[in-house]
């Protein structure tokens, strides 16, 4: 997908999400896909069809847009954080997921999480990111 087209779809996603502020107003992946691309997800294409949509969400998040998600069976989907507490809750989930991933890495590398985090900090300093 070309950058111009990507930016158009990104703007469309954001415009739709403005109408879905707060977890209670989350829009499902299927509905968001339908509104953005003006077609349905194919019967067997949930993963492949939604790849671009998930990429757009990732781009928006990387730009600092508070696109939150919920995996609830009845009201799951994407939404913009309504208030500080919703954003805090979502960020806590992200933080927890990141820590679990780092724990897995420390176990695979057979080192402590403390040593792994220290090494990551050193790498960040060397790269000028810290």
3-state SS, the chain, equals CCHHHHHHHHHHHHHHHCCCECHHHCECHHHHHHHHHCCCCCCCCHHHHCHHHHHHHHHHHHCCCCEEEECCCCCCEEEECCCHHHHHHHHHHHHHHHHHHHHHHHHHCCCCHHHHHHHHHHHHHHHCCC
Predicted pLDDT at 97: 93
Domain boundaries, the chain: 1-82, 84-130
Contact 112, 106 (CB under 8 A): yes
Predicted pLDDT at 130: 60
Predicted pLDDT at 82: 86
- Match domain 1-82 to its CATH number in 3.40.50.2300, 1.10.10.10, 3.30.70.20, 2.40.340.10: 1.10.10.10
pTM: 0.79
Q: Mind listing the pLDDT tens digit of every residue in the chain (130 residues)? A: 799 999 999 999 999 999 999 988 999 999 999 999 999 888 776 777 789 999 999 999 999 999 999 887 676 899 999 878 888 998 998 999 999 999 999 999 999 999 999 999 888 888 887 6
Predicted pLDDT at 5: 92
């Amino acid at each position: 997908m070309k950058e111009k087209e990507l930016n158009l779809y990104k703007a469309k996603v954001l415009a739709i999400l403005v109408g879905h502020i707060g977890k209670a107003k989350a829009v499902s992946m299927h509905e968001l896909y339908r509104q953005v691309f003006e077609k349905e997800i194919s019967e067997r294409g949930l993963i492949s069809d939604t790849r671009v949509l998930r990429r757009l969400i990732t781009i928006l998040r990387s730009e600092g847009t508070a696109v939150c998600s919920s995996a609830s069976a009845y009201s799951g989907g994407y939404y913009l954080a309504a208030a500080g507490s919703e954003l805090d809750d979502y960020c806590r989930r992200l933080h927890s997921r990141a820590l679990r991933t780092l724990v897995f890495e420390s176990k695979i590398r057979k080192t402590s999480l403390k040593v792994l985090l220290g090494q990551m900090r050193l790498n960040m300093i060397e790269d000028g990111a810290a």
